[in-house]
Amino acid sequence: MSLAERVKEKRLALGLTQAEAAEKAGIRQQSWASIEDGKTLKPRNIVGIASALKCDPAWLINGGAFMPLAEVNTRKIPLISYVQAGALATKPPIEAFDGSYEYVMTDMALSEFCFALKIKGDSMEPDFKDGDVIIVDPEIEPTPGEFVVAKNGEDEATFKKYRPTFTDPNGCQQFELVPLNNDYPVINSAHQPVKIVGTMIEHRIYRRKR
């Protein structure tokens, strides 16, 4: 059975039209039709397509034993803005915001408060480039050398490397937020208010245009 046949078989089993399935997957109906016609052999949004069909993306691509989505344990993570991430320092996680989100999919065991953030700017180059996506869990305390999202007194959040420095007389851990690009300054919690929002647990790199 081909990818086209697997996609069509699952769609019909769920009682969905091509338009309905495409909407659930976040793609155009024409794109879905191209997959079922066998013209598109490697769909770009295979995770979204698998989510719409309630199945494992690997099964759609490679075939083999069918795995329902529930067994794969895939879940949606909201992709939020830097302003929204900054607000998480003072408001209830995610629930503080109105409106709809973009989402990314993950099968990792994460807390209910985790979120995704798209990197902007070049302060974390060369390891993290503009357009990369990171997944952050506010329930995980950072250890030295890990990467964190933090609020540094501005409306927006910032993404930097975490480096603890000393424990102050009140027992509070002081730290630095270090950019990987030396053209940007280090942020020191002893010199300005800084609050850690969460710790990065996944980094996704996407194909870049040449």
Q: Is residue 209 part of a domain?
A: no
Segment 19-34 shows an average pLDDT of 91
Q: What pLDDT digit, counting tens, does each position of 150-174 carry? A: 998 767 899 999 999 999 998 999 9
Backbone CA torsion sign across 60, 210, 201, 111: negative
- Pick the closest to residue 205 from 129, 135, 137 (CA basis): 129
Residues 36/7, Cβ–Cβ less than 8 Å: yes
Q: Is residue 210 part of a domain?
A: no
* Alpha-carbon span 99 to 12, nearest angstrom: 31
Residues 157/85, Cβ–Cβ less than 8 Å: yes
Residues 24 and 58 in one domain: yes
Both tokens assigned to 67: 């795995």
Q: Is residue 182 part of a domain?
A: yes
pTM of the model: 0.63
User: Does residue 176 carry a pLDDT above 90?
Assistant: yes
Q: Is residue 178 part of a domain?
A: yes
Q: Where are the alpha helices (DSSP H) in 14-135?
A: 18-25, 29-36, 46-52, 57-62, 69-72, 82-87
Q: Name the residue type at position 84.
A: Q
Q: Is residue 29 part of a domain?
A: yes
* Alpha-carbon span 183 to 126, nearest angstrom: 12
Helix (H, G, I), strand (E, B) or coil at 98: coil
Segment 99-111 shows an average pLDDT of 73
Backbone CA torsion sign across 15, 75, 28, 67: negative
Where does a domain end: 41, 72, 103? Answer: 72
Domain that holds residue 15: 3-72
Residues 55 and 89 in one domain: no
User: Does residue 97 carry a pLDDT above 50?
Assistant: no
State the pLDDT confidence band at 64, using cuts at 50, 70 and 90: low
The total number of structural domains in the chain stands at 2
User: Does residue 61 carry a pLDDT above 90?
Assistant: no
How big is the CA angle at 149 (ends 145 and 112), to the nearest 5 degrees?
110
Cis check: omega of the bond before 43, within 30 degrees of 0? no
CATH number at residue 54: 1.10.260.40
Please report the DSSP string for 142-191 in residue order.
P-TT-EEEEE-SSSSEEEEEEEEEEE-TTSPEEEEEE-SSTTSPPEETTT
